Every structure is written in structure tokens, then in C-alpha cells.
Chain A
Amino acid sequence: MSRTAVALKYLSLLLASAVVVVPLVVVLLTSLKTQSEVANDGPLSPPGDWFNFANYATAFEQGAMLRAFGNTALILVVSTAGTVLIGSMTAYAIDRFHFRLKKLVTGLFLLAALVPGVTTQVATFQVIDDLGAFNTRWAPILLYTGTDIVSIYIFLQFIRSIPLALDEAARIDGANSWTIYWKIIFPMLRPAMATVVIVKGIAVYNDFYVPFLYMPDPGLGTISTALFRFKGPFGAHWETISAGAILVIVPTLVVFLALQRFIYSGFAAGSTK
């Protein structure tokens, strides 16, 4: 490669990085400014005091962020655990047994992957409402656990690599199907679980549509809906809104830095299905 080509390559990478970073850095700067600094200085100017965390306190207390983090954590833990159980059970039944209608069952799961959730909400809303789950934390939990086909695929792919000899040996020792699933298959699915937990966890943490539609009660705010509500009362208070946005982004950044490798492979596995 010629020197010009190399220079252009790095230039394009630096430019792309700047496009990613600049909007985020500006919001970080804004979150550290006082109200008058935001009003009088340009958006790219540094804050007068780099350790001015007053906006974060405002966002956290008045924006009900603490409760939102609590709600999100609860929904995330329960739906992720549910997804792991549902996905591994389905994979176990489909991969390890012969039964009538097996083709039909597999086909039903396959077909469901083609139906985007966004299109069916009009009618799903009625189902949730009839169950009495509207405006409760059960609505997102049920929807996140009940409509995750990708996780089932990930488990199905992985369970094939677990030798049948293990099941057979355990059966000879007198184990029944439930014991085999719970004591042998489930623990061996751990690598697949890591993928599912990461992909699912990030999806639940970031979801806005479901909590927005099914939990309008302000007390049931998740981080997405609680942050969305900053729009009203904090209207033009960009320093508070920015602090709220940074509060939401930081946990994602921490998780990303800690689990980078798993995240890349997880999303690659999840989206190419």
C-alpha cells in the first residue's frame, strides 16, 4: 500500500471515531455545566468546574432514576432467567426426543422469528390487558420471555454438541428426563447461556417500546421511560437532561468494556439467525 493510501485509511478511521465520540462528549460536557454556562457558552466549551455533579443529583432525585434502575434491574433479572429456562427447555425437548408433530412445533418457532414484534402490538395489548398485566411489571416480563425466538436458536445450536452418550449413561443409572435436563444438560449449556444473558440483558436494558406502551404509570418507570419523561419538566434544562442521559449510558459502557469479546460474538450469533 502506498503512503497516501495508509494515511487516508487512518484519516477515515479517525473521522469516523470523531463522528461517534463528539456528540457524546458534548453531552458529557453539558452535564457538568451550570445553567448559566449552558445558556451563555457554546456547546463545545469546557465546563468551568469539571467536578460539578449537581446536575447528576438533580437528575437522580427529581427524575426518579433510582426507582427506574430498580424496576429495570428486576425486570431484567426475571426475564433473563425466564428466557434461559424457556429456551433451554425448548431446545432439550426438540433436540433430544422424537415425538409426533415435532416438525410442526419446530416450524411454529421458526415462523414466529419472522413476525416483528412491532407489528403485532395493537393486538398484543389486548392480550396483556385481558390477563390483567397492563400497568404491572408482569407485562414486560411476559413479553420479553414469551417472544424471544433468537435465544431458542442459540440453545438449539449448542445443545447438538452435547453428546447423547451422557444422557444415555445417566439413564442407565436410573435418571429420569427431568434429572437429565436439570443435572446434565442445563449446566453444560453454560456457554450458550452467557451469550443469551448478554444479548437479552442489553436488549431489555435498552427497550423503550414495551415499557412505554404497557407501563404508563410513573411509578413503574424503567430507565428508558424515566429518561423519556425528562422531556416535560426539564424541557430546556439541557444540563439535567444530559446528566440523565450520561447516567443511563455509563452502565452500558462499563458492561461493554468488561465483556467486549462476548458481546461481539453474541450479537453476531443473535442477528445472523
Chain B
Amino acid sequence: MTAVQKTRTVGHADERRGAPPPEPSAGRPRSRRRRRTAGLTPWLFLAVPLTLLGMFTYLPVADMIGYSFTDWDGVSPTSSSVGVENYTDLVTEPARFEVFLVSGFYLAASFVQIALALYFATVLSSHTRFRNLFKGLLFFPYLINGVAVGFVFLYFFQPDGTLDTLLGMAGVDGEHLWLGDPDLANPSLAGVSMWRFTGLNMVLFLGAIQSIPPHLYEAAELDGANRWQQFRHIIAPSIKPVISLSFVLAVSGSLAVFEIPYIMTGGANGTETFVIQTVKLAFQFDKVGLASASAVLLLVLILLITWVQRRLVPEERVELS
């Protein structure tokens, strides 16, 4: 960064102030920057990236929509069109809806997770001993390989395992089938997901909190505001965009849960999620048509959630000072 800044000419010094626009072609053309108008050259640089983008993003989406109107099994050379049958199948069969209820557990867990992350980010942004140690400890689970996390918690939840032993010390006796009992399995798995992702949310919030100008706190302290009032009137409004982004990621993330339940229970005992169901339909039961329809539904849902969030919470900069 410094090297670049040293070579800056004075004329460009205003460009890095504030947030850059989301895409370079947006907005007014910046008069000082003369870019080259060239025929073929940029396409040479874009050839490979665009090919990959087409092949692995747009072609699959288009194919998937195509498959979703057929009864293709993924192997045979022929398939016949079934119209919207796959879709009606998905929305009318109640068993297929249970996976959405499972997502509800993860969604509830993400709300708790966001609240916890906000609390710890606020605590760690003020003067605290061993701040970096706590921050590192809470963040580290996010970096751990998902399969390793799955095994760590499979052992943790064993009957008579770590959790039962700890509960026994606290006076709650008895064996629980944390992953075997359908009533306990989803909350247990959602708990693992909280364990993994709270630290990431916390680091995002911390980054946003640390960009708040310190004189605001000083002014608040002079006015006699306590820590809660500072949080309520300074911290929360300033980091609103990051909080709303976290909620969107929470909703779309809870619909796309796959790794932890697949590794830990394989979707047994009522823990099957939407993505596990789709993967099983496509690769175990060879119902590519039906699986595609279900994937298209998921994609539409996620795009809808993202769109609603962008409409509801425009990326406004909160002016505080």
C-alpha cells in the first residue's frame, strides 16, 4: 500500500477517500482518469475468466433450469419432458417440506449467534485485558476444517461423552442421545454451527466498530452516557450495514446448510437439510430432474432474500459526526 501511495501523483490524491463505487463503470466517468479505448486487447485478458465464468456459473444455472422440466436420471441418453410436474411434486409433498423446518433451527441459532457476536465485539472493542487472545480464541473455530469439527462434536455429543460428563458435574445426570433423539439432534447440530461461526461475525462487527471515530465516545462519556447507551446510540447505528448483511447471510446460509449435518448424522434422525435432500435425490436416487427443480427453488429463494434485503436496507452511510 505504501509503495503505491508514494508513487501517487497529487492529482489523484482525492480518489482513495471514502468508499470506492461498487463497480468501476458505475456513475460518472472520472475525468482525470484516461483509460485506453482498445479493440481486442481487454478481451484477450478476459478470455479465460469469462470462459470459466460461463462454464461453471451460467451454463450450470441454465442447464439446471432445463433439467428441472424433465424426468432425466443423469445417466441415460434420453429424457422426456414432464412440464412443471417436478415443481408441483416439491410443493405439494409434505415430506419435502420438513427440510425447511430443519433450516428453522439453524436460522434461530444464527440470530443467537449474531447477538453473541455483537456482545463480544462490543466488549472487545473497549479496553479489555488479553483482548487479542480472546479474539483469536473465539475466531479460531471458523478456520477449522469442517470434517474435523464434525468429528470433534461427534465425540463431544457421545452418550456418556464430554457433554454428559460436564452436565453430570453440574448435577444433571443421565445419558442423552444428543444426536440420536430427533428432538435433540437439530438443536445440537445448530449449536455446532454457532460454535463455528460466532467468531467470524464477531470479527466483522469488530472491524466495523473500530472504524467509528473515537471522539464520539469521548463526547458521549462527557455527556454521562453509560456503556449500554453508547452501544445503543453510537455503535449499533454505525455498524447497521454489517448487521443487516449478517442477517442476510444467516438466512441464505441456513437454507444452504450441508456440511455439518451430513458429516455428523448423514441426515438421519430428522436432521436432513434442503441441500442434503437435493444431493441425495441427484446422486443416490438418480432423480436429476427433481433435484434440479429443488435446486432452482433454493436459488430463487436465496436471490429473493438478497434482493429484499437490498431494497429494505439501502447501503446508506450513517452520518454521525
A5 to B128, CA, bound (A): 12
**B204–A271 contact, CB under 8 A?**
yes
**B123–A242 contact, CB under 8 A?**
no
Q: For residue B231, give the distance in angstroms from its CB to the closest CB of chain A.
A: 13
A59 to B314, CA, bound (A): 51
Q: Is B28 an interface residue (CB 8 A)?
A: no
Q: In the assembled complex, which residues on chain B have CB atoms less than 8 Å from the CB atom of A94?
A: 24-25, 42, 46
Binary A-proximity of B140-166 (CB < 8 A = 1, otherwise 0):
111111111001110110100110011
List residues 242-273 of chain A with CB under 8 A from any CB of chain B.
242, 244-245, 248-249, 252-253, 256, 260, 263-265, 267-268, 271-272
Taking a contact as CB atoms closer than 8 A, the residue among A42, A142, A177 that contacts B38 in the complex is A177
A93 to B48, CA, bound (A): 12
**A227–B145 contact, CB under 8 A?**
yes
**A105–B46 contact, CB under 8 A?**
yes
Q: For residue B102, give the distance in angstroms from its CB to the closest CB of chain A.
A: 15
**B57–A122 contact, CB under 8 A?**
no
**B63–A127 contact, CB under 8 A?**
yes
Of chain A, the residue at the smallest CB distance from B45 is: A93
**A44–B165 contact, CB under 8 A?**
yes
Binary B-proximity of A81-123 (CB < 8 A = 1, otherwise 0):
0000010011011111111001101101110101110111111
Q: For residue B178, give the distance in angstroms from its CB to the closest CB of chain A.
A: 12
**B306–A114 contact, CB under 8 A?**
yes
Taking a contact as CB atoms closer than 8 A, the residue among B116, B139, B165, B263 that contacts A43 in the complex is B165
**A102–B25 contact, CB under 8 A?**
yes
**A interface size (C-beta, 8 A):** 102
A188 to B5, CA, bound (A): 11
Q: For residue A188, give the distance in angstroms from its CB to the closest CB of chain B.
A: 6
Of chain A, the residue at the smallest CB distance from B61 is: A120
Q: Is B299 an interface residue (CB 8 A)?
A: yes
| A9-B24 contact, Cβ under 8 Å, with A249-B145, A272-B245 | no
**B155–A20 contact, CB under 8 A?**
no
Q: For residue B228, give the distance in angstroms from its CB to the closest CB of chain A.
A: 10
A206 to B166, CA, bound (A): 30
A123 to B288, CA, bound (A): 9
Of chain A, the residue at the smallest CB distance from B291 is: A122
Taking a contact as CB atoms closer than 8 A, the residue among B15, B146, B195, B245 that contacts A20 in the complex is B195
Q: For residue A198, give the distance in angstroms from its CB to the closest CB of chain B.
A: 10
Binary B-proximity of A156-180 (CB < 8 A = 1, otherwise 0):
1100111111101000000001000
A202 to B39, CA, bound (A): 38
Q: In the assembled complex, which residues on chain B have CB atoms less than 8 Å from the CB atom of A191?
A: 1
Taking a contact as CB atoms closer than 8 A, the residue among B53, B136, B298, B302 that contacts A108 in the complex is B53
Q: In the assembled complex, which residues on chain B have CB atoms less than 8 Å from the CB atom of A116?
A: 252, 256, 299, 302
**B57–A115 contact, CB under 8 A?**
yes
Q: In the assembled complex, which residues on chain A have CB atoms less than 8 Å from the CB atom of B23?
A: 106, 110, 156
**A121–B143 contact, CB under 8 A?**
no
Which one of B93-101, B182-190, B212-220, B274-282 is at the A interface? B274-282
**B144–A252 contact, CB under 8 A?**
yes
Chain A contact residues: over half helix, strand or loop, or mixed?
helix
Q: For residue B285, give the distance in angstroms from its CB to the closest CB of chain A.
A: 12
Taking a contact as CB atoms closer than 8 A, the residue among A44, A152, A156 that contacts B162 in the complex is A44
Q: In the assembled complex, which residues on chain B have CB atoms less than 8 Å from the CB atom of A156?
A: 23-24
Q: Is A19 an interface residue (CB 8 A)?
A: yes
Interface centre among B16, B37, B41, B256 (most CB of A within 10 A): B41
| A206-B146 contact, Cβ under 8 Å, with A116-B256, A177-B41 | yes
Q: Is A238 an interface residue (CB 8 A)?
A: yes
What are 19 A-B interface contacts by the 8 Å CB criterion? A12-B123, A13-B123, A13-B128, A17-B134, A20-B137, A20-B138, A44-B166, A90-B46, A102-B25, A108-B53, A109-B53, A112-B53, A114-B303, A146-B52, A157-B20, A177-B41, A206-B146, A208-B145, A227-B148
**Which residues does B use to contact A, with CB under 8 Å?**
1, 3-5, 7-9, 12, 15-16, 20, 22-25, 33-39, 41-43, 45-46, 48-50, 52-53, 55-61, 63-64, 67, 74, 116, 119-120, 123, 128-129, 132, 134, 136-148, 151-153, 155-156, 158, 161-162, 165-166, 195, 199-200, 203-204, 207, 227, 242, 245, 249, 252, 256, 258-259, 263, 275, 278-279, 282-283, 288, 291-292, 295, 298-299, 302-303, 306
8 nearest A-B pairs in the assembled complex, by CB-CB distance? A146-B52, A93-B45, A123-B60, A123-B64, A97-B42, A123-B63, A93-B42, A146-B56
Q: A16-B137, A208-B259 are in contact. List 17 more A-B contacts (CB 8 A).
A: A20-B138, A20-B141, A23-B152, A43-B162, A86-B48, A98-B38, A99-B37, A103-B25, A108-B53, A116-B252, A116-B299, A163-B4, A213-B283, A223-B145, A245-B151, A264-B139, A264-B207
